Amino acid sequence: MRDFFAKIAHFFTHNSDLKALFSKPPRHPGETDVHYDVRRRKIGRRNLFFFSFLPLAVLYLEMVFHIFVFGEISLTSFVLIMLFSLSFGFLINGIALLTTLKTNRIITLITLAVTTLIIVSQYVYFTIFGDLYTVSLMDMATDAATNFIGMLLEGIGRGWFALVLMFLPLGIFIANFKKYSPAFSPRFSFRILLLVLALLLHLLSLGIVNLDRANVGGGNYHYYNNEFRAIESTKRFGVVTNMRLDVKAMLFGTKDTDVEIGGDVENPFNTVETTDITAETTAEPVVEPEPIVYGDNVMDIDFETLIANESNDTIRKMHEYFSSLTPTKQNEYTGIFEGKNLIFLTLEGFSYKTIDPERTPTLYMMANEGFVFTNSYTSLWGGSTATGEYAAMTGNFHQSAKCLGMSGDNLMYFTLGHQFSRIGYKTYAFHNHTYDYYSRDLSHPNMGYEYIAIGNGLEGLSGGWPRSDYEMAVATLPYYIDSDVPFHVYYMTVSGHANYNWGGNKMSAKHKDIVAEMNASENVKAYHACQYEVELMLAELVRALDEAGKLEDTVFVMSADHYPYALTADELKELYGITASDVYDDFDLLRNSIIIWSACMEEPVVIDKPCSSIDIIPTVSNLFGLEYDSRLLMGTDILSDSDPLVILNELFTGPNWCWMNKYGIYNSDTGIFTPAEGFVATEEEISAYVKQMNNVLWAKRKYSPLILEKDYYRYVFE
């Protein structure tokens, strides 16, 4: 070992290239001390500039991005980002040094410029949408920027200081462009040395990554090798490494991670007695009636034969997983809406905080006089309307904003469009924005709807951004109001879309007087104002149905696609009444309303169990008595005796892949499970329970995207 280090020391002290970089240059004949000192300093600065500028510039850009996006950085993440940045910089240095000095400069300039533009564009996209784009979504990111130019300009204005800081290295390099080359001509061996240094730094990074093999579904190893998720990847490894992992995932896919399947989760919780022991009584004991035995919501699927005959390993594992699940049971509400009409709405950027008994009486009535879900959430998947809409329409989740387009040629067996079409309903889907945005022209017809939107048959709406939900209701009622067969209508609204200000949102300006007396900041007022269109739309639908004698026979179902993340952190705190230092760490930000209402209901039904948007499809399918298999959906019938698993994903700096059920809530960032009020268990029992539930969550994370990506229902039903 001593000889090994001696050889390294000898290399560094005797290598002529290294000496040329860091040692004094030879003195020219007759050169004065003053001139020699000046020349030596210039040569030293030039060599240092060449050798270190690109690696340090990339590290600087990563740190500026991280600070302005995530606010803080763990020691492990800092070390990994530093090593990956230096490795990338020395790699480019080594490659560029293999060329002529002029080409060297050009390669370095192009690399720095492209790296800067990628980091800048990711930052701007993040300030607008609260997410990071991926390589596969670059076309959609560009489309979003051109469609929502006002939001783009606002995002740039909001983050101008960070953008100035990000462009500094590129400006410094351009100013010193001609000086970027070493003050000597290094030998080939030295050029290879830079490549070897880059490789060693990269291998050291991988070693640190491999040390963090956390529980299934987490840890640096998992996010580097198995699952690609842009936010997690960037937070842990930096923007440059994130883009590299993105390209790798796009070209070669991600590794399959095995999960345990089968067996029910053991519940360790005991309820806490909250009442005192009462005195003895002579009253006659109450005789409980015999409980009703309900059947399961399942279909006749021969999983054993499917498994035996399947040659595709992934599909076979999916058969094994879904066949192992316990189905939900039918219940007292099964089929209570059978034969009725259904109007299903996904509300753009909606928050339950905009429901008001005086300002929005129709919304208030529907939220409080039907099925009242007091503990409902709208989780985030990919931070886009598309992913939120996909979750509500399919009962499954996917993280790509291209999920709707991806579904365009799949067998979408359990969408309500297909379920109702199979029993003779007339089905329509309407949207008051461009018909092919998010590829809805492919997805919605394939989900069983006759799809009509702007540019595809929807007329009579005034222009401007965003368009009116109320005008959409007026324009579309003639399609179905006089139907002689039952109908199912789906609406995707747009009036509640950002920007939330008086100049960038036509609907906000239209209803400014409605919120004039509200005690709120201007942008929060603008948010409430544009969401007033939902009230007008629902009031018009109720009026028309009542006039046609069909209100009692129509059910309304609605949920949001996501919370209004275009509001700033302070504005979100104001809207939701959140006092936490970081609003994105508070799960109340994801709390929302799932509304199921019909005028035929005599009294409200209050449901306290946690639920989310993916639970809508199985719940509605059960209410209408539709044939479906509860094992093949990620969501759960909220009205069944099974407990839904609510997945809680935040944007910005919030935690990801947390979960909640009636027993408590688990925060993946802190690793802490907090039992709900009234439930207790020992630390050992909770630890074992959390491990089981994390495995349940990971199985959903694995198989829900595969339902779409593998067109799984086609294997089952065809």
What are 473-509's pLDDT values in tens digits?
999 999 999 999 999 999 999 999 998 999 989 999 9
- pLDDT tens, position by position, 591-627: 999 999 999 999 999 999 999 999 999 999 999 999 9
136-150, 439-453, 691-705: least confident range = 136-150
* pLDDT at residue 1 greater than cutoff 60: no
> By the 8 A CB rule, do 328 and 637 touch?
yes
260-264, 412-416, 713-717: least confident range = 260-264
pLDDT band at 110 (very low <50, low <70, confident <90, very high): very high
Higher pLDDT, 160 or 714: 714
Give the span between the Cα atoms of 507 and 349, in whole angstroms.
14
Judged by DSSP in three states, 694 sits in helix
- pLDDT tens, position by position, 41-92: 555 566 667 778 899 999 999 999 999 988 888 899 999 999 999 999 999 9
Residue partners of 364: CB distance under 8 A and separation at least 6: 355, 356, 357
Q: Which pLDDT belongs to residue 169?
A: 95
> By the 8 A CB rule, do 223 and 229 touch?
yes
Q: Which tokens sit at 227?
A: 């699952």
Judged by DSSP in three states, 530 sits in helix
Give the span between the Cα atoms of 398 and 387, in whole angstroms.
6
Q: Which pLDDT belongs to residue 410?
A: 98
- Neighbour-count burial of 13, counting CB atoms closer than 10 A to its CB (0-12 exposed, 13-18 middle, 19+ buried): exposed
Candidates 678, 660, 499; CA nearest to 591 is 660
Query: In whole angstroms, what separates CA 90 from the centre of its chain?
Result: 34
Q: Which pLDDT belongs to residue 334?
A: 98
Higher pLDDT, 26 or 697: 697
Stretch 568-591: mean pLDDT: 93
* pLDDT at residue 98 greater than cutoff 50: yes
- Kindly report the length of the chain: 718
397 strand-pairing partners: none
Where do the domains of the chain lie, and which CATH numbers do they carry?
16-212 (no CATH), 298-717 (3.40.720.10)
Give the span between the Cα atoms of 613 and 398, in whole angstroms.
13
Higher pLDDT, 126 or 350: 350
Q: Which pLDDT belongs to residue 39?
A: 47
Phi, psi (deg, nearest 5) at residue 110: -65, -45
pLDDT above 70 covers what percent of the chain?
84
Stretch 433-455: mean pLDDT: 97
* pLDDT at residue 281 greater than cutoff 50: no
Q: Which tokens sit at 480?
A: 């179905």
Q: Which pLDDT belongs to residue 277?
A: 36
Stretch 21-31: mean pLDDT: 56
Q: Which pLDDT belongs to residue 58?
A: 96
Which amino acid is residue 100, in one-letter code?
T
Alpha carbon distances (Å) from 338 to 485, 551, 555: 13, 15, 10
Q: Which pLDDT belongs to residue 5?
A: 54
* pLDDT at residue 36 greater than cutoff 50: no
Stretch 535-559: mean pLDDT: 98
- Measured over the CA atoms of residue 606, residue 611, residue 616 and residue 617, the dihedral's sign is negative
pLDDT band at 179 (very low <50, low <70, confident <90, very high): confident
Stretch 116-141: mean pLDDT: 81
Q: Which tokens sit at 570?
A: 């302070």
Residue partners of 602: CB distance under 8 A and separation at least 6: none
Stretch 1-7: mean pLDDT: 59
Question: Does residue 499 have a cis bond before it (omega within 30 degrees)?
Answer: yes
Stretch 27-32: mean pLDDT: 58
pLDDT band at 440 (very low <50, low <70, confident <90, very high): very high
- pLDDT tens, position by position, 203-213: 999 999 998 87
Quick one: angle between helices 101-129 and 149-158, nearest 10? Answer: 110
pLDDT band at 401 (very low <50, low <70, confident <90, very high): confident
pTM for the predicted model, two decimal places: 0.85
Stretch 660-682: mean pLDDT: 92
Q: Which pLDDT belongs to residue 274?
A: 43
* pLDDT at residue 37 greater than cutoff 60: no
Which amino acid is residue 19, in one-letter code?
K
Give the span between the Cα atoms of 449 and 451, in whole angstroms.
6
Q: Which pLDDT belongs to residue 96?
A: 84
Stretch 565-577: mean pLDDT: 94
Q: Which pLDDT belongs to residue 85?
A: 96
Residue partners of 554: CB distance under 8 A and separation at least 6: 340, 341, 342, 343, 545, 598, 599
Print burial letters for 545-579: b (CB count within 10 Å at least 16), e (below 16): beeeebbebbbbbbbbbbbbbbbbbebbbbbbebe
Which phi-psi region, left, alpha or beta, contains residue 691 (left: φ > 0; alpha: ψ -120 to 50)? alpha
Q: Which pLDDT belongs to residue 506?
A: 96
Stretch 322-331: mean pLDDT: 96
pLDDT band at 144 (very low <50, low <70, confident <90, very high): low
Mean of per-residue pLDDT scores for the chain: 87
- pLDDT tens, position by position, 130-142: 778 888 767 665 6
pLDDT band at 645 (very low <50, low <70, confident <90, very high): very high
* pLDDT at residue 541 greater than cutoff 80: yes
Chain position carrying tokens 């639970």: 615
Instruction: 147-153: list long-range contacts, CB under 8 Å, 24+ apart.
Output: 147/434, 147/437, 148/498, 150/465, 150/499, 150/504, 151/498, 151/499, 151/504, 151/566, 152/124, 152/128
pLDDT band at 276 (very low <50, low <70, confident <90, very high): very low
Query: In whole angstroms, what separates CA 634 from the centre of its chain?
Result: 16
